[in-house]
Amino acid sequence: MRNDSAAINRNSGIRITGKIIAYLVTAFVIFGPLSGLVIWSFAIKWYWPHLFPLEWGLSYWIKAFQGELLRSFITGINIAVVVTAVVVIMSVPLAYVLTRYRIPVKRIILVLFLLPQAFPSLPIFANLLSLLYKWGVAGNISGVILIHIGAAFIYSIWTMVSVFQSIPLVLEDAASTLGAHRVRVFFDVALPLAAPGIFVSGLLVFLYSLDEFTGTLIIGSPFVKTLPVQMYLASMGYEMQIASVTSLIITVPGIILLLFFERFMKAEYMASFGRI
């Protein structure tokens, strides 16, 4: 009995040790790259061959919350809010029509929305630049918003189609049987049930717009600067502290919003992707 008990305790110790090692490895993979950014963001003086900074301070964080970096952050937030509102307003009714009505070319339409993602974004944005110059929106916020809307629309439309497909049609049929017309069925039945999915769709669009770099740099340059653009410019100028601070500032909203994403994302939405 003692030998059996000792063997059980040994096996239990091995399992616990294995879990601890697995957790440590996972934490290192996730937080290892971020730790370098954190150290650089507080480093005032750091050069080879010293393992850690010779001088620490908050001067670069203070700089980030004033002047051009703060304006870039506010610009990015404003652009993301406008893009999210426009894309969600456009995608929700369109996704409902694609889901509830018999459209022979529905799959082709959805594939066409995916088509821009099949090609590298850099040549697409570069070719669009000349067109936007003709329209007079290149180099300003309007042009950047247009680019973000076009690129982010795919995330919203596919998400909303899966959301509406996950809603039982029998609920809408019951409302129609009781005399509700199609518009009222949409606003009183489908839309409230789809609210969590709409929130998830908006989060995806907002995160995309907030982190979008290539289109913003090409279309908005040199007058529109968001934090991703500032991070790129700082990196190219070997301003590692500024680049680290801006990257951490971008990361924090993303982590917070992804927690909300996990809270509102339902398994039915993911299952419905297979039936699109």
Please choose, from the candidates 200, 226, 223, the residue with its C-alpha nearest in 3D space to the C-alpha of residue 213. Answer: 226
pLDDT computed for residue 8 by the predictor: 57
pLDDT computed for residue 87 by the predictor: 95
Name, in order, each residue with C-beta under 8 angstroms of 168's C-beta and a sequence gap of 6 or more: none
Cβ distance 201 to 111 under 8 Å?
no
- The domain locations on the chain are 2-56, 59-273
pLDDT computed for residue 257 by the predictor: 74
Residue 136 Rama label (left phi>0; alpha psi -120 to 50; beta): left
pLDDT computed for residue 69 by the predictor: 83
In 37-192, where do the E strands start and end?
A: 43-45, 55-56
- The pLDDT averaged over each successive group of 10 residues in the chain (276 residues) is 56 74 78 78 82 83 80 91 95 88 74 70 83 87 92 87 84 81 84 86 90 89 87 80 84 76 58 49
pLDDT computed for residue 5 by the predictor: 59
DSSP, collapsed to helix, strand or coil, labels residue 180 as: coil
Residue 23: CB atoms within 10 A of its CB come to: 10
Class level of CATH domain 59-273? mainly alpha
In 93-212, where do the E strands start and end?
A: none
DSSP, collapsed to helix, strand or coil, labels residue 212 as: coil
CA distance 194 to 166: 9
Q: What phi and psi values does residue 208 have, to the nearest 5 degrees?
A: -60, -50
How many residues are recorded in the chain? 276
Burial class (CB in 10 A: 0-12, 13-18, 19+), 50: exposed
